[in-house]
Structure 1
């Protein structure tokens, strides 16, 4: 009989920041019982994924073994950890476990997708545990930038695994639980086989700061502003929203929440009892009668999302609100790498309006929700695991985190998405590599990253498109071919219509073509495609994508 082993397999979130999905397995090789930790999304951009709504992990490997999947555990309610649950659950059909706040939001997602909310189970914090096949899993509270975040304590026949989720060391987080060093010391007392650890801020050399440090600075900024004040942060950062709202309230301003995501998060925090003293907010429709200098807007869209309230304000009006010269806009957030262009576009638009924009370049108005390098080293010392597996980071983060573990004598492994590790022994060992790509939510459809759809969309965006139509009766041309173009200049270098030039090249070829060629749709398609691309390149310097439509009358 094959010996049992403990495996770890990231399907998302390792080698990138976002789209978290981590598989653990216990049992004989190729017959392990499995659990999944987190099922999140990442977000598209116009350069690499135009038209895509969301990016989901590729769960083909796991879906093929869904009969061995015991449960899904969600560490917290950020979209990159819970956002794909409703999109992918029907392929896995395993119970979903989360703490109350996260479970509340997960049920809302399931309901919106027309799925059974009852598959989402609410779990209390450690020391309560959930039995899932050979696993026993507990939710140990950690501080982060969203309420009720948890690291997972995963007990297996091969030892205890600690999966940190996203965390920071904050003793006064404002909303949510503080970091409890005594609890984690007790968790580590009998030994930790493997620590699977957040790596996001491994390059930040100074210890992380507390959320509670921000209040006085934000209050000073808001109190000194002469006009309307608006501020944005992550909609899920309830503690920051509360800090901002309290600053506005103390400055004598009425607070207005703008953006569906922001209102939804605050409501969820109140419904689940996470927050009971959030400052009173004024509905947008009632704020019209309040003098501008007495208003503070809290807006969604800190990452430059085009349809969010912040971006819409930068383009003019939103729900009757308009920013003017002398107003103040605060970005109480960090720009996620990849979103810089979108955020700068908004900053410049506000600047053109005469709005004073304050960002986090000074570090005075935002603190990270992730542990910095000294904090990670402190956790290594506290838990003293046999081995360290960095996750939640780009490849450079994972590699730097392994080196940090090496300094403490903890063996580690860089395991990007698709890398299966055996955690059973004294050090991690790579045992398999699987395909771990991406799935695109494109409208109502889920498409594979290698299906070619997005690739073709990018090619059309880069090169333009020409459609050629030809009508024949057997091997006789019925008129000249004609072209339609999209995303291409209408004129050639010489000022002649591009369509005329393309049609002339095609007509010249067709009237010289022999009957054998005219009878073969495949040869005609290939030849006309090549002619249009070459002709367009000669005339305008571009090789467009070409669609050929051949109609034959019978």
Structure 2
């Protein structure tokens, strides 16, 4: 009879920051009952994924075992943890559990995709627990940069695992629950087999700062400004949005929220009772009539997103409001690596308008939502796990986190996406490797990262595209000359002749001297015509474009 084992398998979020998806299983080998913790997204960029809307973890392994999936548990409402819940709901078919605020956001996503809202069940915090097959799962409150974030206490077969989710140790988070060391000590008292732990800020050597620490600095900044003040932060950071709004209100300014995500998050926070006392806001129409020195806008787009409110203000008007010389724009946020170009573009556009831009280079107007190294070490000490499994970080973060654990005499292991660990023994062991990757949402269709769609798009963007059309009669003789249509290529080449003319002339010469055997074989003909275009273009413009050949035969 097979022994039961406890497994951990990251499908996203381990070896990267974002796109979180973690599978836990318990039972006989290859017959374990499963739960999924988080199902998030990451965001594309024009360099590597042009035209893609969202990027999901490839959960093929889990889809193939969906009949063994008991439930999905969402730790908090950031997009990299909940963003794919509606996209994958039909494929997985499992009930979704979350605390009230996160459940509110998840239900909105379900509704947008036509799924039943009752697929999401609201759960209270520990000591309440959800029974899911052999698992007993409790939501443990933690501080983060979004309300009602939770770690998970996962119990199965007598073993206990704590999955931290994203967390920080904040005694005064403004919105949400403060870190409670006594509660954590009580939860850990029966013993913890494994701590699966956030690694994002493992390289930051100083203690983390409280969310409450930025309030006085923001208030002083806003009160000192003469023109209109505009501030951006992560829309999900409800505490920061409240801090900014209160600073504006105390400075005698009317507050206007701009951007769909900002309004949606505040609505969800108010609906679920996690946000109270938020200052009165005015709509964009009313804001237009308010003197600039009496107005503060809170806008989306802290990461330079082209369609967000910040970018639209930087390009001109947004909802009838425009920035002018003497106004101030505040980034109350950290720029995520990879987003620097978009943020700098906005800063320069505002600079050209005479707007003063203040970023977080001083460290005064933003604090991280993730635990720094000393805070991670403190949690290790409180929980005192038998083993530490780092997650939510790039490989360098995971490796450093293992070193931190080992320095205190604890067992640790680096497990990137696709690494299945067996946690049943006294130390984690690699059980097997599972193929993982990425799935793209391209418009309304999900495509695989290796399907070639995005690869071809990149190649066309880099090299241009030529369509060649040839018509042959029933004796395989050309009817007229071939013609070309060019996209993304210069009109004139090195010979100073029109590029299209050069290509069509070279194609015509080849076609007229091609043998009957070549002209009779579509595949051979297409191959040769493609070769002619690429070689001729290389001579003329120094590029080999992508080529599509259309051969029409008249009978």
| Cα offset, 1:418, TM superposition | 0.5
SS in 2 for 1:87: coil
Matches within 5 A, 1:225-264: 225-264=225-264
Q: Which residue of 2 aligns with 1:361?
A: 361
Matches within 5 A, 1:541-552: 541-552=542-553
- The whole-number CA distance in structure 2 between the counterparts of 1:440 and 1:302 is 24
Q: Which residue of 1 aligns with 2:161?
A: 161
1:155-201 deviation digits (Å, cap 9, x = unpaired): 11141000000000000000000001001001110110000000000
| Cα offset, 1:548, TM superposition | 0.2
Question: Would you say 1:54 and 2:57 are equivalent positions?
Answer: no
Distance 1:5 1:158, change over 3 A: farther
TM-score using structure 2 length: 0.99
| Cα offset, 1:27, TM superposition | 0.6
SS in 2 for 1:322: coil
SS in 1 for 2:468: strand
| Cα offset, 1:450, TM superposition | 0.6
SS in 2 for 1:502: helix
**CA RMSD between the two structures:** 0.6
Q: Which residue of 1 aligns with 2:536?
A: 535
SS in 2 for 1:46: coil
| Cα offset, 1:508, TM superposition | 1.1
Question: Would you say 1:517 and 2:501 are equivalent positions?
Answer: no
Q: Is the 8 A contact 1:206 1:374 kept in 2?
A: yes
1:370-401 deviation digits (Å, cap 9, x = unpaired): 00000001011111101000000011111110
| Cα offset, 1:494, TM superposition | 2.6
Q: Which residue of 2 aligns with 1:141?
A: 141
- The whole-number CA distance in structure 2 between the counterparts of 1:262 and 1:246 is 16
Question: Would you say 1:434 and 2:434 are equivalent positions?
Answer: yes
Matches within 5 A, 1:2-17: 2-17=2-17
Q: Is the 8 A contact 1:158 1:424 kept in 2?
A: no
Q: Which residue of 2 aligns with 1:497?
A: 498
SS in 1 for 2:466: strand
Q: Which residue of 2 aligns with 1:44?
A: 44
SS in 2 for 1:270: helix
TM-score using structure 1 length: 1.00
- The whole-number CA distance in structure 2 between the counterparts of 1:342 and 1:396 is 26
| Cα offset, 1:289, TM superposition | 1.1
| Cα offset, 1:2, TM superposition | 1.1
- The whole-number CA distance in structure 2 between the counterparts of 1:477 and 1:42 is 51
Q: Is the 8 A contact 1:480 1:507 kept in 2?
A: yes
Question: Would you say 1:422 and 2:422 are equivalent positions?
Answer: yes
Q: Which residue of 2 aligns with 1:85?
A: 85
- The whole-number CA distance in structure 1 between the counterparts of 2:291 and 2:2 is 74
Q: Which residue of 1 aligns with 2:453?
A: 453
Which consecutive segments of 4 or more residues in structure 1 shift more than 6 A?
none
1:483-511 deviation digits (Å, cap 9, x = unpaired): 11000001001321000111111111111
SS in 2 for 1:85: coil
1:183-221 deviation digits (Å, cap 9, x = unpaired): 100111011000000000001110000000111100110
| Cα offset, 1:334, TM superposition | 0.4
SS in 2 for 1:439: strand
Q: Is the 8 A contact 1:42 1:56 kept in 2?
A: yes
| Cα offset, 1:286, TM superposition | 0.8
1:85-136 deviation digits (Å, cap 9, x = unpaired): 0001100000000000000110110011001111100000000000001100
SS in 1 for 2:118: helix
Q: Is the 8 A contact 1:493 1:540 kept in 2?
A: yes
| Cα offset, 1:516, TM superposition | 1.0
In structure 1, stretches of 5+ residues that fail to align are none
Q: Which residue of 2 aligns with 1:402?
A: 402
Matches within 5 A, 1:80-479: 80-474=80-474, 475-479=476-480
In structure 2, stretches of 5+ residues that fail to align are none
